[in-house]
Structure 1
């Protein structure tokens, strides 16, 4: 953690809604005139698309599990090193991964490929990470290196929709972007479920804020659902780890339709998710920047 170079991370699986949270922070940063270094978690994958498919096929043949969630499929030591360097000096190296042709054109590479490693922009105010491992923690052992990414993060958000909703969103997302078949996406979901339980779920116990979207329509059979439940067809559960940081009566006034379900848990309409994140996080970020300015001043 660093007052001078704070780090914000959003963690969750593909289809969970981390991109929605990132957009909320982009609006928040724009309003507060904050310059952010944006980090894509997939840039720290170990393998490009074709090599990853080969690794998964080989693991399946040997009755082993291997997915994008697994530590061995990622360069988590490099991600931890980036967070440590940024916290100390506001610098570091990152790269991007092109998921589709549109991103390939934007990044100047091919779909399924990485860009070269490059330095972060100079003079940024915060680092913002979106990916699978922003809250990852692994004690050292004879077979595994100690990795403590979560310890470097100043504000950690987990995005955890109900499982069926997450599956529906992933099927629509992956089939629409990469053109792969629905059955392939279903196989991927089932294959990586043990890694999700072992490596993603524990991160949500380390977060400062958890955001969970819950559908209000029938999603009992997610693999035949034709549509993703819309914002008005869902509610959002927001859990705040330390309720002492927040003025809940004031939050309820600012978010129409919000209510408290526990002393540190709010329920907001699905259409108010982005607004709620901005309202909740704006004073936290403003406090971060004020502390940073005090140090740099």
Structure 2
């Protein structure tokens, strides 16, 4: 953790909705004139798209049918922790980009599914913003979580998460239902062992729960809308959280536990704005104070 060079980490699995959270933070940063260095977790995968297919095939030949992007073997977690550590100390660090599609790849003159070369982050950012799979991961050799100043979990109910992944991968990436289902099954052990434990280390969790029938996510024709959901917001440390203000501002909300608010799903953006704007401003106040002392 660093007062001079703070790190915000948003963690969630594939299809959880972390990209939507990133867009809300982009609005906060723009409004408050904060320069953020954005880092995508996909850029710390160990293998590019073709290499990952080969690695999965090799794992299957060995009888390992659970090799996935959720686990440490398929990721550069040492490098991710080193980025967090270096940024906290110096305000920069070593990064690259994963090029998901033709549009992203065309900018670099590369093929989709490949990585750009490693380079150093610019030194003029106010904070680092990470969005991906492993922003609060802890293994026997790596502790990424300890370096982040604000850790956020994005965790839809599991059936909703699967529906979102199915629709995204089928519509945007052209995968079949069978292929996406196979991926979900293959990732399950790593999901249990490496994804779920992170949400006990996050400072705030956003857990979207549908209020419509999602009992068979593999035949769902539509993704439940925000208004067809409730949002469970859990604070690891409720000290300093103005719950009466949040309840008043989030119409239809209530507290289910001393550290938990439940509100209509359609208010997720407002809830994030109300909760995270003061947290971000506090990080910036600490940063400016430290820089003034150091200067």
- TM > 0.5 fold call: yes
Which 10-residue stretch deviates more, 107-116 or 272-281?
Answer: 107-116
Q: Indicate the residue corresponding to 1:4 in structure 2.
A: 4
The answer to whether residue 38 in structure 2 is matched with residue 43 in structure 1 is: no
The answer to whether residue 101 in structure 2 is matched with residue 136 in structure 1 is: no
Alignment check: 8 A CA contact 1:99 1:178 kept: no
Q: Indicate the residue corresponding to 1:26 in structure 2.
A: 26
Q: Distance in 2 between matches of 1:214 and 1:102?
A: 33
| SS of match in other structure, 1:29 | helix
Count residues in correspondence. Answer: 291
CA RMSD of aligned residues (A): 1.1
Q: Distance in 2 between matches of 1:107 and 1:228?
A: 33
Q: Distance in 1 between matches of 2:273 and 2:255?
A: 18
Alignment check: 8 A CA contact 1:43 1:97 kept: yes
5+ residue gaps, structure 1, are 140-145
Q: Indicate the residue corresponding to 2:280 in structure 1.
A: 285
| SS of match in other structure, 2:251 | coil
Q: TM-score, normalised by structure 1?
A: 0.95
The answer to whether residue 186 in structure 2 is matched with residue 191 in structure 1 is: yes
Q: Which of 194, 204, 209 is the aligned partner of 2:204? A: 209
Give the drift of 1:62.
2.1
Give the drift of 1:107.
4.8
5+ residue gaps, structure 2, are none
Q: Indicate the residue corresponding to 2:103 in structure 1.
A: 102
| SS of match in other structure, 2:239 | helix
Q: Which of 271, 280, 289 is the aligned partner of 1:276? A: 271
| SS of match in other structure, 1:214 | strand
Alignment check: 8 A CA contact 1:213 1:236 kept: yes
Deviant stretches of 4+, over 3 Å: none
Q: Distance in 1 between matches of 2:74 and 2:101?
A: 20
The answer to whether residue 96 in structure 2 is matched with residue 92 in structure 1 is: no
Q: Distance in 2 between matches of 1:28 and 1:106?
A: 27
Q: How does 1:246-261 map to 2 (within 5 A)?
A: 246-261=241-256
Alignment check: 8 A CA contact 1:108 1:115 kept: no
